[in-house]
Amino acid sequence: MERKQVIIIGSGPAGYTAALYTSRAGLNPIIIEGHEPGGQLTTTTDVENFPGFPEGVMGPDLMANMRAQVKRFGTEFLSTKVKDVNLSKRPFHIVCENGQEFLAETLIISTGASAKYLGLANEMKLIGKGVSACATCDGFFYRNKIVHVVGGGDTALEEANFLTRFASKVYLLHRKEAFRASKPMQERTFNNPKIEVVWNTEAQEILFDESGVTGLKVLNNKSNEITERKTDGFFLGIGHEPNTKFLNGQLALDEHGYIKTQGQHPDTSVAGVFACGDVQDPYYRQAISAAGSGCQAAIRAERFLESLHDSKA
């Protein structure tokens, strides 16, 4: 069974940055990328808020460039998922879906968090063409346009308020007649003249043409009436699910399933295991903050390995 100094589970900006730093430090990392190398950015079109690209960059291109940069320094890649881990002792035991097994002196987890979607027909096909789960990523593209947001918690209300910086009108669809969001967030939403709440309403179908989203078919839960609404954008504000199930409860998680890290460091509840990116960040969820945390995790892993070496010297 191959033994590695660093194994990185997950790719995306966090995982690739962690690999960049650890590979340049001569630690010969391996990235277990999963079945969607590059993460959520591979489903994004224009990225205009990542430094260094004055004209913007396509999400898939940004991830391809990061991967190529990492490969240049000798990182190994595995396009499979981790099925099981044993964190009870070091070196940690990693079992992959393809049957490969590894031992790891340190482990960096960058498996991200998946946005929750409604499961409507064509919903995934229209991501980047009018469907989005990230207002801070895509709001700029809806300047002076009409958008709809679905949800009733803090996430949806935050998304709706953010979108009013750009959109001419924001409709907030909620299947009930009361929000579960915090009172301050509700007050902020009700006092925003650009937001109109549409109660007791669920999206049933996304309407589109070759240019992208054009409207929605919605159901009123009280009258059972189905109507059509014109829109230029459809934003999902129903939360994210961190990809931590494979850990089987071996790391401390918060109440929403995100990995708990120690203060300002990426250290987890198990020494030698570090977390970076959206899997430990329910607040920022940006490519640049994920990349930064990947750098932190790599440096902490390097110093952890140095401390082991020093203790044996």
Active site residues: 134, 137-138
CA distances (Å), origin 159, targets 45, 115, 281: 19, 13, 17
SS3 214: strand
- Decide: 170 and 147 in contact? Cβ < 8 Å: yes
**Strand partners of residue 169:** 146
Helix (H) or strand (E) holding 219: strand 212-220
- Nearest CA-CA partner of 282 in 255, 265, 258: 258
**Phi, psi (5° rounding) for residue 206?**
-100, 125
Cα dihedral sign, 49-139-38-281: positive
Q: What angle do CA 111, 72, 304 make, to 5 degrees?
A: 55
CB atoms within 10 A of CB 147: 28
The type of residue at 91 is P
